Amino acid sequence: MLDSSPAMKRVFLETYGCQMNVADSETMAGVLEKAGLTLTDRPEEADAVVLNTCAIREHAEQRVLGRLGEFARLKQRNPRLVVGVAGCMAQHLRKRLLDSRSRVLDLVVGPDGYRRLPELLQRAAREPVAEIRLDRDETYGDLEPKREPGVRAWITAQRGCDKFCSFCVVPYTRGRERSLPLEDLIRQVEGAVASGYSEVVFLGQTVNSYHDRTHDFADLLRAADRVAGLKRIRFTSPHPSDMSDRVIAAIAECPRVCPQVHLPLQSASDRILESMRRPYSFAEFTEVVRRLRSAIPEVALSTDVIVGFPGEGEPEFQATASALREIRFDSAFLFKYSARPDTRAWKWEETVSEDEKGRRLAELIELQHGISGEIHDAWLGREVEALVEGPARRDPGQLFGRTAQFKAIVFADDGTPAGALKRLRVVGATPVTLFGEPIATRAPGARVTIR
């Protein structure tokens, strides 16, 4: 039983990083509430603050360290405040964080320790606690997350990663790859639909390598597609090397699986791909793109690219720029290489200066911006179906939604409720947003001639 001393009642939980962290925070929130703790969105009212952190790039870590400085000041005013760091940074920086002389932190909990979070927080109120063991079997498949409100439910299908790309910290911070049983995932999908969510997004670092010893990712997509009441299914991130024909066929054949695939390229130079330990050549990557586009005609593709990896000279960089021109992704997440402790590339000499990384990044941003704009312009005049999410952030008189290709679209508020599908004609476009107009439907009571 939990020690229900008045010391620990309200927890402030803040999330950094990817959607997988958002989903982890929802798991933590579920665990905390089940133990009788309440969540607050005001850190100054909390008995404990927990930052769910990201270690993927140095910049992400700096932001968390800055936030911890703010909590140090809060702790000066309220010495009983328990300060915790969860997630990828906890695993990674455990020693430095706990040993820090001006100790702010009371709790460090890695991605596999969330089941015991209430108990760990109670203990951390008395003494510093580090729970950083990685557990090859922990999937949280049986836990009920407390989901953020919205139209989209994030469902972690797979945890950890076995690929060990030479730049990436994930296998060290999140441990080995493991998949949740298909039955648990379908139960989560059904639960999300029963709670009013219209869309589910399956998450995993290489989500298409999903395998629960019986079912593969194609089975999961097909099983989710059969769940009554569910409107849309997405997934992120698939790995190019795990894009089997079975998975492509499932995406193509399941009506609720959206025609949208995020396919991280990282670099188009075979030499750089090899030193990144990405298990494909550029030609093999383009072959995956070809198979996807021929099976799913309207598929929208996005990607991740890293510029300035050690050894990337101008020719290798230009190969990547040409690849963006050739493949014409709908959008791209473009990153400057950031050396991460523990990874293989950490020990390698950096060969590209920060200035040069910045120049390469700016060049790709401009290039991709133009391509995204042209792709959006090609949607002008076409009909799309948007899943409505609610009022547009910039203009509450407009509604915001996403097309099947995950393109942001706004249109005049006509009272369509969040979670509904709405047919729109595209009447305007920028590289990031489409503008729509409702397609005239039959007026109520209008006469219909049946031949």
Contact between 239 and ligand SF4 (CB under 6 A)?
A: yes
Give the Å distances, CA to CA, from 36 to 4, 29, 83, 140. 9, 11, 19, 19
Range in contact with ligand SAM (rule: CB under 6 A) among 124-132, 335-343, 418-426, 429-437: 335-343
The encoded tokens of residue 3 equal 């020690």
* Token pair listed for 20: 């997988």
**Residue 57 contact partner, candidates ligand SF4, ligand SAM, none, CB within 5 to 8 A by sort of partner:** ligand SAM
Give the nearest residue (CB) to ligand SAM.
Answer: 264
Cis peptide preceding 275, ω within 30 of 0? no
Nearer to ligand SF4, 165 or 426 (CB): 165
Query: How far is 159 from 184, CA to CA, in rounded Å?
Result: 14
Distance CA 294, CA 154 (A): 28
Closest approach of ligand SF4 to the CB of residue 254, in Å = 25
Number of residues that bind ligand SF4 (CB under 6 A): 10
Going by C-beta distance under 8 Å and a sequence separation of 6 or more, which residues neighbour residue 365? 334
163 binds ligand SF4 (CB under 6 A): yes
Sequence letter at residue 151? V
Q: Which is nearer to ligand SAM, 360 or 422 (CB)?
A: 360
Amino acid at 439: I
Q: Which residues, listed in sequence order, are joined to residue 409 by a DSSP beta bridge?
A: 401, 434
| C-alpha to C-alpha distances, 175 to 134, 160, 222, 252, 342, nearest whole angstrom | 6, 5, 28, 32, 13
Alpha helices in 154-263 (DSSP H): 170-174, 182-194, 217-225, 245-253
Stretch that binds ligand SF4, among 61-69, 165-173, 217-225, 227-235 (CB under 6 A): 165-173
Cα–Cα distance between 36 and 54 in angstroms, integer? 27
Q: Does 168 bind ligand SF4 (CB under 6 A)?
A: yes
For ligand SF4, the binding residues in 202-231 under the rule CB under 6 A are 205-206
| Residue 171 near which of ligand SF4, ligand SAM, none (CB within 5-8 Å, type-dependent) | ligand SF4
Contacting ligand SAM (CB under 6 A), which of 306, 327, 388, 434? Answer: 306
Binding mask 245-274 for ligand SAM (x = CB under 6 A): -------------------x-x--------
Which residues of the shown chain bind ligand SF4 in the complex (CB under 6 A)? 161, 163-165, 168, 170-171, 205-206, 239
Which residues of the shown chain bind ligand SAM in the complex (CB under 6 A)? 18, 56-57, 167-168, 170, 205-206, 237, 239, 264, 266, 304, 306, 335, 337-338, 340
